[in-house]
Structure 1
Amino acid sequence: MENTADFKVYDQQIWEDISIYLYGRADYAMDLAILNGSSVTDDIMPGKTIKIFTDKELNRLVLYSLQSNNSIPATAVDVSQMVVEPEGIGYWIIKKNFIVK
């Protein structure tokens, strides 16, 4: 069995973000989700403590870049904050967002 530890999830992180943040590569996202009894497409609650692997191969160049810039990948989309503008011919304005050529 692989070695594991605990990790607290940051706001708006998905499994790929966590994998990149911890290992410098996204290809462990599925393994992390499975380890935690989740699907890679499931949302993860901010502040939730999950299990992570401590013995995976690292991409040190990516990790160094993230750490030197104090970057924490967090790419989840919050649908409640999305602004959806009306679409379609009934809403388009000629020469503004409906260009006739």
Structure 2
Amino acid sequence: MTDPILNTEAAASVHYVDPRVRQLAFAAWHLKTGGTFTDWLRLGKDHPDALIAEARDWLRAVVAAGIAPPPATSTIHFDTTPLTETIRNIVRRGPGEAGMAL
């Protein structure tokens, strides 16, 4: 048998923001514990039991092997100007004066 061809470039494009990572992590955690989605969310993204790092690694392997497609690239540009202005107002005037409850 020859060595399989792996698409390591596509695998490297899988990051934590790919929604499939969290789907895979929750599914693995649920199968292991039987817990609910809310229980899993309470663990937090950095908790080792949440399995997010492992899910990302497995998803990278799946993409490299050609079992799943690489993540779609987004061409959407988000205008963050309104958010930036809101943050500036909070910093300048304080949270109460900027009209936001923090």
Structure 2-normalised TM-score?
0.26
Q: Which has the higher contact order (CA 8 A, sep 6+)?
A: 1
Relative to total residues, which structure has the larger helix share, 1 or 2? 2
Relative to total residues, which structure has the larger strand share, 1 or 2? 1
